[in-house]
């Protein structure tokens, strides 16, 4: 009560303090918003001055994820939409600059190209009829948002307008690309050069002193030299902003004790046991797996996998225990045994001889709501059954009428084979269909209902019979216990506390934890090597204020935790000396080795150079500049180019090539025979340029565009 009185006495003081705190928070937020672009909060990107709005962008991302059925991650969907939107905006800038648009006549032409084969748009002569197209569009608009069928698929007015937009974009792009290609030609001069480069031939002798003749250990490279090399080759070492991390993973994995407990629990299910019934105040016998008469209920109550009532062949059992399972007597139980990530108990329910394959023919009558039923299906379940029963009666009285009634079947695939289907017992089929086809004798005729509708099935033939087994199996996944999970959390927490005041790697080493370093994680990456999709870790590492040495723990999707630490903050620009060294060191060593080789060579003839360097004089015949490959040495454009600049019989100075230092002698030069006309070569040059337009034009336009990417703000 005394405490409450003191609070009341100071209530005005507390109100003032809270008000000041709220005021401070609001003012701070205002200044923060002033310091950042309000636009970036609603705009995913700005491309050539045009914004991509966040809401529209996210709707597209959600649509892709929904259509993929969850097989595409959020980041993958985002990247797919991003690529599409960037392309559209970059190309639209070009279309607008040139003034390209799709007019009605061209649109109709595009529709004809795409829909000309559709039966719905053909006249009696089998030709595309634009009036039928116009009528279809008008009707589709009138019934919107309802659907109709087009070429066997359901379509509504929105889907149609999306389709028109898609082919319109394709048409605009094709027009633009064709305009560019029209300005890309191969001139006669280029044709002649192409012909000469390919057909001028040179025979040469050469000596190669390979760079490998000097050990890398004999050539030292300073960090300053690597830094200079990086600055001199910025295009090779330009990088995006990235982060380097190191992490320790704490997996929630079942312990040996957990596995032993799972085995014990399964073993306890086998035999009957006596338990005290608290309600009845008496002991009662609980029937075990071995003696139960309701196998299905027992399995479903104790297994993570539901009971399978089908017969299976021995080949479906794990090879390590197949003999034990197939050798079981009726109601005998085998196990617990380990199979992959689970322990199992198996009990033989029944066995019999069954065919390994079957040949049937069927007629399928679907009804509304069945699998693959299209908009043309209008029968109810009862109506479909009545139709199937009627067909069954007709065929039962005269089997020869089966083929005549195939026109009533909706299974177009089997209809093309007179309704016949052949399949193995191990193939995936509707369970009811499969059971009838294998568990009844050849010649049987019946009506079977599946998720696809009602089937009138006739068994035409059956394959070789072999022993099949109906096995009841109780499955318990190998999972960590609560005790183990709690232990993992405790270990993770202790590690976090320890690394707060000690070296991350040292603490991990002391506790026998494996550290996993990760380099060059980009801001929009979603996967961490060794962990899979871990977008949360990536986002955290790029958050404002996160510095080298900071660490944080994260839950992992597979269960468990990761403690990650930032080891480097790499700004956008040129690669660091340490990372650049991987590729820069070999190139710098080559340059230094070339100088060492050149400095020690004083001879001027090929034979003398070869003798001094312990090499041999080699010969290369009919080399050309179009394909500058030197037999025995590899691709050496500089060396072969030098050969064509020599007079016959002349020996070159030392040449630094890609794989060593060379000296060459031109022994014979055979110029290409002049052609009366170089148009054919010019055409090939033009064709090569035109082909390059398809692959290089967009990338060039994208590179030249002004793109402001704010995706990391939202993902």
Dist. CA 462–CA 451, nearest whole Å = 24
First to last CA, the chain: 51
Residue 431: φ, ψ to 5°? -55, -40
399 and 372 in a common domain: yes
565 and 486 in a common domain: yes
Number of domains in the chain: 5
Predicted pLDDT at 648? 95
Out of 318, 353, 388, a domain closes at 353
Residue 676 lies in a domain: no
Predicted pLDDT at 18? 37
Residue 146 lies in a domain: yes
Residue 266 lies in a domain: yes
CB 531 within 8 A of CB 212: no
For the stretch 47-84, pLDDT in tens is: 998 999 988 888 888 888 887 877 888 888 888 999 99
* Model-wide pTM > 0.75: no
User: Given the structure tokens 């994208």, which residue do they identify?
Assistant: 702
- Full residue range of the structural domain in which residue 485 is found: 241-253+481-571
Dist. CA 606–CA 643, nearest whole Å = 14
For the stretch 285-340, pLDDT in tens is: 889 999 999 999 999 999 999 999 888 889 889 999 999 999 999 999 999 999 99
CATH classification of the domain holding 658: 3.10.50
Out of 293, 318, 353, a domain closes at 353
Predicted pLDDT at 416? 84
The three-state secondary structure class of 507 is helix
Predicted pLDDT at 376? 80
Residue 91 lies in a domain: no
Residue 291 lies in a domain: yes
585 and 541 in a common domain: no
Residue 42 lies in a domain: no
349 and 260 in a common domain: yes
642 and 587 in a common domain: yes
Predicted pLDDT at 39? 57
Dist. CA 23–CA 12, nearest whole Å = 16
CATH classification of the domain holding 373: 3.10.50.40
Q: Which 3-state string (H, E, C) describes 637-676? A: HHHHHHHCCCCCCCECCCEECCCEEEEEEEEEEECCCCCC
DSSP designation for 513: P
278 and 246 in a common domain: no
447 and 398 in a common domain: yes
Q: Which parts of the chain register pLDDT below 50? A: 1-37
Out of 545, 571, 597, a domain closes at 571
322 and 287 in a common domain: yes
Dist. CA 188–CA 684, nearest whole Å = 11
Nearest to 457 by CA among 363, 387, 384, 355: 363
Our CA angle for 153, 154, 155, nearest 5°, is 115
Residue 683 lies in a domain: no
Residue 3 lies in a domain: no
567 and 592 in a common domain: no
What sign results for the dihedral spanned by CA atoms 497, 498, 503, 504? Answer: negative
What are the CA-CA distances from residue 458 to residues 42, 296, 399, 412, 433 (Å)? 63, 30, 9, 17, 11
């Amino acid at each position: 009560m005394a405490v409450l009185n003191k609070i009341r006495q100071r209530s005005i003081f507390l109100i003032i303090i809270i008000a000041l705190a709220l005021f401070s928070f609001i003012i701070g937020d205002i200044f923060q918003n002033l310091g950042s672009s309000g636009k970036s909060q609603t705009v995913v990107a700005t491309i050539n001055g045009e914004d991509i709005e966040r809401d529209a962008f996210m709707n597209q991302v959600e649509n892709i994820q929904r259509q993929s059925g969850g097989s595409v991650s959020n980041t993958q969907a985002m990247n797919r939409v991003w690529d599409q939107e960037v392309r559209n905006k970059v190309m639209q800038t070009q279309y607008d600059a040139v003034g390209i648009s799709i007019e009605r006549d061209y649109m109709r032409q595009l529709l004809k190209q795409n829909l000309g084969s559709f039966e719905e748009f053909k006249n009696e002569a089998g030709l595309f009829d634009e009036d039928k197209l116009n009528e279809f569009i008008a009707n589709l608009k009138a019934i919107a948002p309802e659907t109709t069928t087009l070429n066997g698929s359901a379509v509504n007015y929105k889907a149609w307008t999306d389709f028109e937009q898609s082919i319109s974009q394709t048409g605009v792009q094709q027009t633009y690309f064709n305009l560019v290609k029209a300005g890309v030609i191969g001139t006669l001069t280029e044709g002649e050069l192409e012909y000469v480069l390919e057909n001028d031939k040179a025979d040469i002798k050469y000596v190669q002193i390979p760079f490998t003749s000097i050990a890398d250990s004999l050539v030292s490279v300073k960090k300053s030299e690597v830094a200079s090399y990086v600055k001199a080759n910025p295009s090779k070492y330009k990088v995006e902003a990235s982060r380097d991390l190191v992490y320790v993973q704490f997996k929630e994995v079942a312990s040996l004790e957990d596995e032993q407990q799972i085995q014990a629990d399964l073993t306890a299910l086998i035999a009957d046991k006596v338990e005290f019934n608290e309600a009845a105040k008496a002991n009662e016998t609980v029937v075990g797996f071995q003696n139960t008469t309701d196998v299905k209920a027992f399995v479903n109550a104790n297994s993570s996998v539901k009971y399978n009532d089908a017969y299976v062949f021995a080949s479906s059992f794990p090879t390590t225990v197949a003999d034990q399972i197939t050798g079981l007597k009726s109601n005998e139980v085998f196990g617990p045994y380990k199979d992959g990530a689970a322990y199992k108990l198996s009990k033989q329910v029944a066995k019999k001889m069954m065919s390994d394959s079957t040949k049937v023919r069927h007629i399928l009558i679907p009804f509304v709501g069945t699998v693959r039923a299209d908009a043309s299906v209008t029968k109810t379940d009862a109506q479909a059954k009545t139709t199937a029963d009627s067909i069954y009666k007709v065929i039962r009285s005269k089997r020869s009428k089966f083929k005549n009634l195939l026109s009533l079947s909706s299974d177009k695939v089997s209809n093309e084979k007179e309704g016949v289907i052949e399949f193995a017992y191990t193939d995936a089929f509707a369970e009811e269909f499969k059971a009838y086809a294998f568990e009844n004798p050849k010649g049987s005729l019946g009506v079977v209902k599946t998720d696809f509708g009602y089937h009138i099935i006739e068994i035409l033939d059956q394959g070789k019979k072999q022993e099949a087994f109906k096995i009841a199996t109780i499955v318990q996944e190998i999972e960590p216990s609560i005790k183990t999970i709690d232990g993992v959390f405790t270990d993770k927490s202790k590690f976090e506390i320890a690394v707060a005041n000690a070296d991350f790697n040292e603490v991990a080493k002391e506790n026998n934890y494996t550290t996993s370093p990760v380099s060059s994680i980009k801001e929009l990456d979603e996967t961490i090597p060794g962990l899979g999709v871990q977008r949360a870790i990536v986002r955290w590492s790029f958050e404002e204020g996160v510095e080298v040495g900071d660490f944080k723990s994260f839950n992992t999707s597979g269960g468990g935790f990761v403690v990650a630490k930032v080891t480097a903050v790499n700004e956008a620009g040129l690669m660091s000396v340490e990372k650049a060294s991987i590729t820069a060191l070999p190139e710098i060593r080559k340059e230094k080795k070339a100088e060492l080789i050149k400095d020690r060579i004083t001879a001027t003839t090929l034979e003398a150079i070869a003798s001094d360097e312990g090499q041999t004089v080699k010969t290369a015949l009919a080399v050309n500049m179009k394909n500058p490959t030197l037999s025995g040495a590899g691709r050496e454009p500089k060396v072969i180019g030098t050969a064509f600049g020599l007079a016959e019989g002349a020996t070159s100075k030392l040449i630094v090539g890609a794989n060593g230092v060379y000296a060459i002698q031109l022994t014979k030069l055979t110029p290409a025979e002049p052609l009366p006309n170089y148009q054919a070569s010019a055409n090939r040059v033009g064709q090569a340029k035109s082909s390059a337009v398809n692959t290089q034009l967009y990338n060039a336009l994208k590179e030249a565009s002004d793109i402001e990417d704010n995706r990391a703000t939202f993902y």
